Amino acid sequence: MAAVRADEIPVPRGRPRPVARLRTWLDRESVLGPVLVTPAMLLLVLLVAYPFVMALYFSLSNAFIGRPSHFIGIRNFVHLWDSDAFRQTFQNAFVFTGIAVAFKLVMGISLALLLNEQLWFKRMIRGAVLLPWVIPTALSTLGWWWMFNSLYSVVNWTGIALGIMDPPGPNWLGQKYYAMAAVVTVNVWRGLPFFAITILAALVAIPRELYEAAEADGANANARFWHITLPLLKPVLAVVVLFSTIFTFSDFNIVYILTHGGPINSTHLFATLSRMLGLEVGRIGEGAAVSLYLFPLLAFVVWAQLRFVRKQAY
Amino acid sequence: MPVARRPLMKRVLIHLGLLPFLIFALFPFYHMTLTSLKKDRELYDRHAVPLIIRQGPTLEHYSKLLWETEFLTWTKNSLMVTILATGISVVIGTVAAYALARLRFVGVSSFGTGIFVTYLVPTSLLFLPLAQVVNWLGLADSKWALILTYPTFLVPFCTWLLMGYFRTVPKEVEECAMVDGATRIQALWRIVLPIAIPGLVCAVLFAFTLSWNEFIYALTFTSSSEQLTASVGVTSELIRGDIYFWGSLMAGAILGSVPIVILYVFFLDYYVSGLTAGAIK
């Protein structure tokens, strides 16, 4: 025993070995917590926050690909408001988002109500409904591009065969309003599953007894929908609409592939115009200024979400 | 028996009501498949019925795609980028989510808010300055740029999703293990993670899907054919001037979706639960 003690003399008394010490130190919540979040935090600071600041700087400079940039104040923003392309884009963004989200909401509620009934092949039907949402958007949009082709459009062929359209039918991607209708259609097609499935989950959670009690009181299906279903769905609808608004507003893939913003800027959104100005033309400053127009809406959605979602989470 | 017939009648009507939605959802895939299997002669015959194949199917568009384009390279790139980005993001997201769900330390709530905010930031807001960052790092026109940048949207997503799952694991189970002498890390590894496996599967599936489907970063950060991912390769390399090879283009769109469809068929229920848990983008 004495010999063992003599061996321990170099180590200061009362302190465990370094590895064990590190272990207990790491086990404290105030230490382990920051250690565990550090990788995520570094990533977000270096590759999200820092680029965001860069975007702010770019938007206030005359940055051009391959040239040194200078601070020019808000001249980019002023210049944008003088350009027809930008004003058109600004209007498009609201028209596109407003119409697409409205369709997704109404169709999403209808589809969810149908899916909530007794169904044959329930799983298969749900699988089919969700499919457009999981397939790569860029690739499925190619399919729509082909369906809207000016010469071989299957949409027009069907419309003419059914007698709804006069031959040759609209040139979907080449005419102003039709092009907007086309990009909205594809956005609704791809976003509808998210609405339907999320609303369905909320529908399933509504207690049956409420409907039974209402039925006993003589409320018909219509009244039950407006006075029970809709009010109880409201929180979920709010969250779904907010999420969808920001992602529809910032959409890129569909417009880039279907119309590239044309004809004559009539379908450009902030993301596609920003890419065109920033990378295809090379005016990074102006491109960044355009993309920053996404920010106010983003800030609003974040604020609104924090009020709704946070209340549930904490 | 009118009492028994009325529910059946209602059921049939419900299915009839679903029909337009199902056609809307599935028709594009049907039409793409059909196009990819048609002979060119029939495909570009304006008097042919576009809804069926009359002159027999062909695989020529597929063989053209596989042997005369870089499609296999793009698929390989997509797989590599997706697997690495998913792996990195799920690990970083898991530890961050555990800290946010379980530990109390300075700044935990503002970090949680930060994660949520970045979860909502659309990729189209940051691609311009990120392209600059990628240049500085010497990763311009390289698939490694994608492996580096995809975690920026995958990590917030995984963290948010897993935080919810970790909260459902009872604290007592973990505390029991720590009373027996396990450290927090050991408790996380041996007790919490096994319970949270459904959540992890969900996070992996969604991260995989999101990075496989990502388009704007891949389009911006890579340009030479051997660095492209499947969706960018198909959309930009198969279209040359005004001559479109619609058959091969559709074949590419279909084959490029195959990995996701396979996962989807096997894990449909996870997709549904992940979506409703707040998996959005």
Beta bridge partners of A67: A64
| B35–A126 CB contact, under 8 Å | no
Q: How would you write the pLDDT of chain A (314 residues) with one tens digit per residue?
A: 444 444 444 545 555 677 788 878 877 888 888 889 999 999 999 999 999 999 999 899 887 776 777 788 888 888 889 899 999 999 999 999 999 999 999 999 999 999 998 888 888 999 999 999 999 999 999 999 999 988 888 999 999 989 888 888 888 998 989 999 999 999 999 999 999 999 998 898 889 888 889 988 888 888 999 999 999 998 889 889 988 999 999 999 999 999 998 799 999 999 999 999 988 888 888 899 999 999 998 889 888 887 776 555 43
Q: In 10 A of CB A113, how many CB atoms?
A: 17
> Could you tell me the residue ranges of all domains in chain B?
2-58, 68-276
Whole-number Å distance between alpha carbons of B114 and A250: 20
The CATH number of domain A85-313, selected from 3.30.1050.10, 2.60.40.10, 3.40.50.300, 1.10.3720.10: 1.10.3720.10
Whole-number Å distance between alpha carbons of B177 and B191: 8
Q: Which residues of A touch B21 (CB under 8 A)?
A: 107, 111, 114, 129, 192
Strand, coil or helix: what is B211? helix
Shortest alpha-carbon distance between residue B206 and chain A (Å): 9
Count the helices and strands in chain B (H runs, E runs).
17, 2
Count the helices and strands in chain A (H runs, E runs).
17, 0
- Pick from A207, A257, A235: nearest CA to A310: A235
Question: What is each CA distance from A120 to A51, A204, B8, B267, in whole angstroms?
Answer: 50, 17, 11, 20
Q: Which residues of A touch B185 (CB under 8 A)?
A: 26-27, 32
By DSSP bridging, strand B239-240 and strand B243-244 are antiparallel
Whole-number Å distance between alpha carbons of B201 and B193: 11
The CA R_g of chain B, rounded to the nearest whole Å, is 24
B95 and A39 Cβ atoms separated by less than 8 Å: yes
How high is the mean pLDDT of chain B? 88
**Tens digit of each residue's pLDDT (9 = 90 or more) over B97-114:** 999 988 888 888 888 888
pLDDT of residue B207: 94
pLDDT of residue B104: 87
pLDDT greater than 60 at residue B136:
yes
**Tens digit of each residue's pLDDT (9 = 90 or more) over B56-106:** 889 999 998 999 889 999 999 999 999 999 999 999 999 999 999 888 888
Shortest alpha-carbon distance between residue A153 and chain B (Å): 9
Residue A54 has its nearest CB partner, among B132, B220, B265, at B132
Give the nearest chain B residue to A192 (CA atoms).
B25
Q: Is the dihedral of CA B246, B260, A247, B236 positive or negative?
A: negative
The CA R_g of chain A, rounded to the nearest whole Å, is 28
Residue B99 has its nearest CB partner, among A36, A250, A305, at A36
- Pick from A158, A141, A187, A126: nearest CA to B32: A141
Q: Which residues of A touch B25 (CB under 8 A)?
A: 128-129, 131-132, 189, 192-193
The CATH number of domain B68-276, selected from 3.40.50.360, 3.20.20.140, 1.10.3720.10, 2.40.50.100: 1.10.3720.10
Q: What are the percentages of helix, strand and coil residues in chain A, rounded to 5? A: 75, 0, 25
Q: In 10 A of CB A34, how many CB atoms?
A: 17
Whole-number Å distance between alpha carbons of A183 and A267: 8
- The string of DSSP letters for B98-126 reads HHHHH---TTHHHHHHHHHHHHH--HHHH
Shortest alpha-carbon distance between residue A31 and chain B (Å): 8
